[in-house]
Structure 1
Amino acid sequence: MIKCHLSRILGERKQKIAEVSRETGINRNTLHRLYNETATRVELDVIETLCRYLDIQIGELFEIEEGDTQEKVEQ
């Protein structure tokens, strides 16, 4: 399962989704889904814009989390 750390990153920086949306042009709903980890797909240009805006690497935003999903794939 892929975990998104957007909520932690924005919390540490005391930033709001509305602010990030306004400054990057990324749709608020897209950011909201990433923030709440309900997104099922994300465009690469959104990931790039977000990483550049936050000045982070992709690996700081997303992480593969081992768990039930991985075990099901292997079976």
Structure 2
Amino acid sequence: MIRCHFARLLGERKLKISDVSRATGINRGTLTRLYYETAERVELDVLDKLCAHLGVGVDELLEHVPDESP
């Protein structure tokens, strides 16, 4: 499972989805899906813009968490 820490990063920086959308040009719907971890795929350019805007690496934005089921 891939965990997205976008919501936590926004909270720490006291940013809103609309702020990030305006600053990066990323569609608000895409950011909302990342925020609620419902995105099924993410374009590399979106990850690049988010990481640059937030000043983080991909490893800080996304995390692989092994499934607990056998």
Q: TM-score under structure 2 normalisation?
A: 0.95
Taking the aligned partners of 1:21 and 1:56, their CA distance within structure 2 comes to 17
- How many percent identity over aligned positions? 57
Name stretches of at least 5 consecutive residues in structure 2 with no aligned partner: none
Which structure is higher in helix share?
1
- Size of the alignment, in residue pairs? 70
Cα displacement (A) at 1:66: 1.5
1:52 maps to which residue?
52
Q: TM-score under structure 1 normalisation?
A: 0.89
Q: CA RMSD in A?
A: 1.1
Name stretches of at least 5 consecutive residues in structure 1 with no aligned partner: none
Taking the aligned partners of 2:2 and 2:24, their CA distance within structure 1 comes to 23
